[in-house]
Amino acid sequence: MTPLLRMAALVVAALTVSASAFAPSSLTLASAAVGVNPDGSETIGTLPTGNLPLPAGSQTSITVDFNDLGPEQVVASDRYIGLGLTIETSLGDVVEGSFNKVPCDGTRSMKTASFTGPFLLRFPHGVTSVSLDAGDIGPSDSDIITVKAYSDDALETLIATDIGSIAQGAPTGCVRLSVQATDVALIKAVEITSEGVYVLSSNSPSGVSSYPNSIFVDNVTFAPAP
């Protein structure tokens, strides 16, 4: 092979190697691990900041399971804003991860720091449905848990309600509650309250006490508006 041909061959080989280095098959792309639930919804598990963007026009349900939180880790209200969810309390209390992996499914949940509640979930873009697990550590008093859905940020227009109860003396556990938007209004905010009722004596009204109760929330599933 002449020196000229040898040089040409080397140039071609170098160009081939350079091109293969930039070929799409060689790029390492970050991927999000998303689990698909039996009902078709997607569970977003460990999201350090929750800043994943929602696909435009997506109608896939999203579940936030709070397993990315540490024990008693304070939850910033905008931690999951990238998913279309903010979290606060009506009384301006602190929201934090549960100390133990209880009570709903044996994994991390969230709670208010001082057991005063209620939780307030806001959906800035509006959603068509919201489901969640809420409960308490037992056995203790009875729990009456109420979920109210509003079509406005001021909590003035109530469009749906769901109520669940846990009997006094029941073991640690949660109930699944759901609310749906109407044909003319999306859900912009959901308020979750829990009232504890403890019966000291069934023979006297004074033996019954009622008060705002501690509450744990987990597995918040919502369907973004189309």
DSSP annotation string for 36-89: EPTTS-EEE---SS--PPPPTT----EEE--TTPPTT-B--TTTTGGGT-EEEE
Question: Is residue 14, in this structure, part of any structural domain at all?
Answer: no
Query: Which of the two residues, 25 and 9, has the higher pLDDT score?
Result: 9
Question: Is residue 17, in this structure, part of any structural domain at all?
Answer: no
Question: Is residue 129, in this structure, part of any structural domain at all?
Answer: yes
Question: Is residue 8, in this structure, part of any structural domain at all?
Answer: no
Q: How many folded domains does the chain comprise?
A: 1
103: left (phi over 0), alpha (psi -120 to 50) or beta: alpha
Whether the per-residue pLDDT at 125 is higher than 70: the answer is yes
Whether the per-residue pLDDT at 149 is higher than 70: the answer is yes
Question: Is residue 94, in this structure, part of any structural domain at all?
Answer: yes
58 burial via Cβ count (<10 Å: 0-12, 13-18, 19+): middle
Q: Which residue has the tokens 């070929």?
A: 23
CATH for 174 = 2.60.120
Question: Is residue 135, in this structure, part of any structural domain at all?
Answer: yes
Question: Is residue 182, in this structure, part of any structural domain at all?
Answer: yes
| Host domain of residue 102 | 33-224
pLDDT, tens only, 51-85:
344 444 445 899 999 999 998 888 889 999 999 99
d(CA 122, CA 69): 19
